[in-house]
Amino acid sequence: MEEYTVTEGRLTPHQAQSLINGLSRGSVPLDAVEWFNVEVGDRRRWIEDIQHDLEGFIREGGSKVRFLKGFYGDGKTHFLSLVRKMARDRNYLVSYVNAEEAPLHKFEKVYGQIVERMETADCSEQALRRLLDGWVEGRHRRLVTEETEEERIGRQLVAEIREFSINLR
């Protein structure tokens, strides 16, 4: 994923071309969405509400569901891109599914798209696989370093048997 950082008020030529390509496809690249956002009226309140939820209520274990309805060109996709960016920047796992690609009455398709499109701030592809790999690796490390009571007793018993056999000689 392209990271759009402005140095001395300018994008690099590559960043500028990438941004133009995204805009020509009809969408603002996710990492540049904040540059194209106008926070006025209700939109400012929506963004403040989302920020409040992400930084407090949801982070502390709560959950929210919101529905967004609007006419063509009202900025629904743009707003959702902004929400995705805000959540990713706060280390949330996010997923964006287009209802045209995964009709809501086809649960398997919707679920598959949710899993396939999961992303984090540092991982925009195969996020679920990387998360699971990290979890398995951490669990393995913990199991290797943690010793169960039976293992400790067994190890101690083997040591005592060795010591006993040495004393018999």
pLDDT (tens, 9 = 90+) of the chain, 169 residues, equals: 555 555 556 778 887 887 788 778 777 766 666 666 666 567 788 888 889 999 988 889 888 888 888 888 777 888 888 888 889 889 888 888 888 888 889 989 998 898 888 888 777 777 878 888 887 887 777 766 766 777 777 778 888 777 766 665 5
Indicate left, alpha or beta for 41 from its phi (over 0: left) and psi (-120 to 50: alpha): left
Strand partners, 123: 120
Distance (Å, rounded) from C-alpha 120 to C-alpha 123?
Answer: 5
Distance (Å, rounded) from C-alpha 45 to C-alpha 49?
Answer: 6
Whether this prediction's pTM lies above 0.85 is answered by: no
> What are the start-end ranges of the H helices in the chain?
13-24, 41-52, 76-89, 107-116, 127-145, 149-168
Domain ranges of the chain: 13-144
